Amino acid sequence: MHEIILMKLGELVLKGLNRRSFEDKLMANARRRLKPFGEFRVYTKQSTLYVEPKGEGCDLEGAWQAMTRLFGVVGLSRARACAKDKDALLETAKTYLDDKLRAARTFKEESKRADKSIPMTSIQLSQYVGGELHEAYPHLQVDVHHPELTVYLEVRDYAAYVHADPEPGAGGLPVGIGGRAVSLLSGGIDSPVASWMIAKRGIALEMVHFFSYPYTSQAAKDKVLELARLLTPWCGSLTVHVVPFTALQEELRRSCPEELFTILMRRFMMRIAQRVAQRIGAGALVTGESLGQVASQTMDAMRCTGQVCSLPILRPVVGMDKEEIVRIARTIGTFETSILPYEDCCTVFTPRHPRLRPLPGEVEAAEAKLDVEGLVNAAVDGIERIRV
């Protein structure tokens, strides 16, 4: 019989009456990710998601790689289906796992019978198949505590399945089940990690990027679009709202105290991001702020930037140090792109001595000299939307 992918559900199994909505969203996300790789049957049964090829032309390797990045799944295995019979299970284990059985030095066998129609208990099935495998592969030693290889037999409603140790899945919740948010995506390390962490909690994202041409180059913009592309295997397709930010920054430089430039710029970023969120029906903003990392990320500074928003601001990396953020960036594949040496709008007109503890009153007094609404409207009207 054919090879399929078995995926174990994570937090979804703890849900109550709304569990089905989580499973439906997970299956919809899986089907969308699988489209480039052929026709697959996707269904859930007994806390397991099944991905089954419908024909010989399916790219199972491509499907496997896509499913390793599917939020909502905690473990996944490639498995071989067979008849619900002890000898069929034994023969399938020998043929399907032959390379792994020859390479391992220790093993154990585990059986689960969700379907009780097979006339053996799980322990009896494990003893039978495990004993026969030990005879067939005499170099193997049984180790029930720390085996190099575990052979799994699962007897389920539709068939029986044989597989080896599952690999870790992406975890989290299905993207989209928790609503939509707008993430401020720079060219740095932190904001892609923050976006990934929020998507892992079931939030669908759209991105906002602030582009200050000619102070920042086309290469810098392309770098940010590449970061968005690297996030799509985890988050799904993304729209990047590229905001023209040059005129606004130049007006701030002309009209405002230098030491407040960064905090004023951040306040305008939050206003514009909120406008984008309101346009698309998003319920929150996401930033890559990490407490104390730079001048605009002190508690006082974050209080000042947050005051201009009515939407919640989610800061998933706020309590993490740089090493922790870098570790995640390497894992999800964004780190090498993030460190490319291109300009960022946040480095344009950087003050020599930025205010670390700005007071709301002095910030508002500086903004009183500006046409805040006009500057925000001009930036929002000039947004370029790019689908990644």
Q: Report pLDDT for 97.
A: 97
Q: Report pLDDT for 334.
A: 98
Domain boundary among 136, 170, 204: 170
Kindly state whether residues 166 and 185 are assigned to the same domain.
Answer: no
Q: Does residue 16 lie within any of the structural domains?
A: yes
Domain boundary among 170, 193, 217: 170
CA distance 303 to 361: 12
Kindly state whether residues 191 and 334 are assigned to the same domain.
Answer: yes
Q: Does residue 175 lie within any of the structural domains?
A: no
> Could you tell me the CATH number of the domain that includes residue 366?
3.40.50.620
CA distance 176 to 120: 43
Q: By mean pLDDT, which of 46-55, 317-326, 345-354 is the weakest?
A: 345-354
Kindly state whether residues 165 and 185 are assigned to the same domain.
Answer: no
Q: Report pLDDT for 1.
A: 62
Q: Does residue 190 lie within any of the structural domains?
A: yes
How does pLDDT run across 238-277, given as a tens digit for each residue?
999 999 999 999 999 999 899 999 999 999 999 999 999 9
Kindly state whether residues 111 and 201 are assigned to the same domain.
Answer: no
* Domain count for the chain: 2
> Could you tell me the CATH number of the domain that includes residue 162?
3.30.2130.30
Whether 345 has a pLDDT exceeding 90, the answer reads no
Kindly state whether residues 156 and 26 are assigned to the same domain.
Answer: yes
Whether 348 has a pLDDT exceeding 80, the answer reads no
pLDDT-derived band at 326 (thresholds 50, 70, 90) equals very high
Q: By C-alpha distance, which of 203, 221, 219, 201 is closest to 211?
A: 221
Q: Report pLDDT for 373.
A: 97
Kindly state whether residues 305 and 377 are assigned to the same domain.
Answer: yes
How does pLDDT run across 197-232, given as a tens digit for each residue?
999 999 999 999 999 999 999 999 999 999 999 999
Q: Does residue 51 lie within any of the structural domains?
A: yes
Kindly state whether residues 44 and 126 are assigned to the same domain.
Answer: yes
Q: Which domain holds residue 275?
A: 180-387
Domain boundary among 142, 170, 198: 170
Kindly state whether residues 44 and 91 are assigned to the same domain.
Answer: yes
Kindly state whether residues 221 and 328 are assigned to the same domain.
Answer: yes
Kindly state whether residues 160 and 281 are assigned to the same domain.
Answer: no
CA distance 148 to 108: 8
pLDDT-derived band at 352 (thresholds 50, 70, 90) equals confident
Whether 154 has a pLDDT exceeding 80, the answer reads yes
CA distance 177 to 219: 35
CA distance 265 to 345: 10
CA distance 376 to 333: 34
Q: Does residue 256 lie within any of the structural domains?
A: yes
Q: Does residue 311 lie within any of the structural domains?
A: yes
Kindly state whether residues 110 and 252 are assigned to the same domain.
Answer: no
Kindly state whether residues 189 and 157 are assigned to the same domain.
Answer: no
Q: What percent of the chain has pLDDT over 90?
A: 83
pTM of the model: 0.92
CA distance 388 to 386: 6
Mean pLDDT of the chain: 94
Give the E-state strand segments of 185-314 in sequence order: 204-211, 239-244, 285-286, 313-314
